[in-house]
Amino acid sequence: MRPVYILGVGAHPWGKFPHKPQLQLALDAMSLALTDARLEWNDLQALVAASSRFEGGMGWGLHANEIVQAVAEKGIPASNVGGGCAAGGIAVHAAFSMVASGQCDVAAAVGAERMPKGFIPRPPGIPNDITDSDYLRWVAMGATNPAYWALETRRRMHDFGTSDHTLALASVLMHRNAVANPLARYRKACTVAEVLASPMVSDPLRILEICAVSDGAAAVILGSEEQARQRGGPMIRVAGCAIATGQFGDPAVRVPTIAMAAGMATPHTSEVVGAVRAACAMASVEPNDIDLVELADNTAWHVLAWPEFFGFFEPGQSDWMLAQGQMDIDGQLPINPSGGFLSFGEATTAQGVLQVCEVAWQLRGQATGRQVQGARVGMTAVLGLGANGASVVLKG
């Protein structure tokens, strides 16, 4: 494979835009990314769009086709990929593969979403498909996403003594990081007391410790080394890019398996851990080489648990690292300098693309007000329904 570089990035602010179509959100993000890359639509040789069932391009998830038909019918190859909340990361991986393989010299990945109300509500589909385990979880058990996030959190509290105060600190950090980020939906700092006073959603998680759902869009333009040098500016290389699915025996699976009984050493959230390990191996980096991480913090629990799953900290160590300021923007391992999902709210298909945009801005030194000084290597990690995981490592 040949080297792949970031040519341009762009993102629409996150929020709720009931009168702005999803297509327009995508076009706005693409326009910003193309401008950043100093390219025109005619220069684009491939477009990959993350898709979902929430809005569905043309009713079929054909987001890329909607976009190219809206701007210019030039025969641009259009691909549409799924993957739940990991779809954006998967779209970046598909565009990366096109450039790395030599199929094209310039490819874009875009994710745009307008979310319905609720805590990641169940999208439209067959309402009574009893073979759909997700349907059974939602309807038969009444276990919405905060319910199983709460189970994970309660387990951590049992295993490591994580306190309500520590969970609140994680939320405080995410909201503090977002204060200077013009793209974030929630840009107001909060205190531990305010977090602990916020309404309980699913014990022990409170509303300020769970991400909202938002509308948003982000786009990344990738290209060959020749294209990157023609553009000028910082050379940001996609050093590692990987996707993965879940592994047998993953303790995150709610139904006990033979592997669990046999004590198999399968990592928790194996789809994301697998993607992170593969991306880091491709980039030839170890945890100590990473200067910042943008991870999917659907809850305060994720801020604590995921760095341990990825090997950055020992199990249970995140509580101490957080309390000592080592996850802060000027700490040992800055977590979500952007403000993360807790400050943006999740726009499913766009989130994985936005993470790559943020790391690119950080490595360029363009993250005003939230800049990780001297950042040279950054990593993303995102999780999606269906046991999908994606991770990207950028080097400046």
Structural domains in the chain plus CATH codes: 4-118+217-231 (3.40.47.10), 133-211+239-395 (3.40.47.10)
Q: How far lies 230's CA from each of 97, 98, 226, 303, 376, in Å?
A: 21, 19, 6, 39, 22
How far apart CA 181 and CA 282 sit, in angstroms, is 31
pLDDT given for residue 15 in this prediction: 97
**Residue 260: which of 246, 270, 268, 249 has the closest Cα?**
249
Q: How far apart are the C-alpha atoms of 14 and 213, rounded to whole Å? A: 10
* Calpha distance 162→160 (Å, rounded): 6
CB atoms within 10 A of CB 199: 7
User: What DSSP letter does each residue of 56-93 carry, written as one string?
Assistant: -GGGTT-HHHHHHHHH--S---EEEE--GGGHHHHHHH
Q: How many CA atoms lie within 13 A of 241 on its CB side?
A: 29
Half-sphere exposure of 210 (CA within 13 A, CB side): 24
Distance CA(332)–CA(321), nearest Å, equals 9
- Please state, as a whole number, how many other Cβ atoms lie within 10 Å of the Cβ of residue 155: 15
| Confidence (pLDDT) at 131 | 74
| CA 273 – CA 246 distance, rounded (Å) | 9
pLDDT of residue 144: 80
Residue type, 374: G
Distance (Å, whole) CA 123 – CA 105: 36
Closest CA to 359 of 243, 240, 273: 240
- Tokens encoding 117: 């109300």
Four-residue CA torsion sign, 31, 36, 40, 43: negative
Q: Dihedral of CA 91/391/150/268: which sign?
A: positive
Whole-number pLDDT of residue 124: 47
**Strands of 106-113's sheet, edge to edge?**
78-81, 47-50, 106-113, 215-224, 4-15, 237-245, 388-395, 377-384, 292-295
Report pLDDT digits (tens) over 346-371.
999 999 999 999 999 999 999 999 99
Q: Which pLDDT belongs to residue 19?
A: 94
Q: Name residues whose C-beta falls within 8 Å of residue 108's C-beta, 6 or more positions apart in sequence.
A: 30, 33, 34, 44, 46, 47, 48, 95, 219, 220, 221, 222
For residue range 247-259, list pLDDT tens digits in order.
888 887 655 444 4
- Which residues lie below 8 Å from residue 338, measured CB to CB, with a gap of 6+? 177, 178, 181, 183, 184, 294, 344, 354, 355, 358, 367, 370
Q: Measured in whole angstroms, how far is the alpha carbon of residue 85 from the centre of its chain? A: 7
Reported as a single tens digit per residue, the pLDDT across 213-229 is 999 999 999 999 999 99
Asked if residue 217 lies in contact with residue 111, where contact means CB atoms within 8 angstroms, the answer is: yes
The residues, ordered by sequence, that sit 6+ positions from 237 with a Cβ below 8 Å of its Cβ are: 3, 4, 5, 6, 394, 395, 396
For residue 208 the two structure tokens come to 């300020």
Q: What is the pLDDT along the chain (396 residues), one digit of tens a residue?
A: 999 999 999 999 999 999 999 999 999 999 999 999 999 999 999 999 998 766 667 777 888 999 999 997 889 999 999 999 999 999 999 999 999 999 999 999 999 999 877 655 555 455 566 677 767 766 767 778 898 899 999 999 999 999 999 999 999 999 999 999 999 999 999 999 999 999 999 999 999 999 999 999 999 999 999 999 998 889 999 999 999 999 888 887 655 444 454 456 788 899 999 999 999 999 999 999 999 999 999 999 999 999 999 999 999 999 999 999 999 999 999 999 999 999 999 999 999 999 999 999 999 999 999 999 999 999 999 999 889 999 999 999
Nearest-angstrom CA–CA distance, 283 and 356? 15
Comparing CA positions, the residue from 40, 344, 22 lying closest to residue 221 is 40
| Six-digit token string for 333 | 């391992």
- For the residues of 119-132, what is the DSSP string, one character each? SSPPPSS-TT-TT-
What is d(CA 95, CA 87) in angstroms, rounded to the nearest whole number? 12
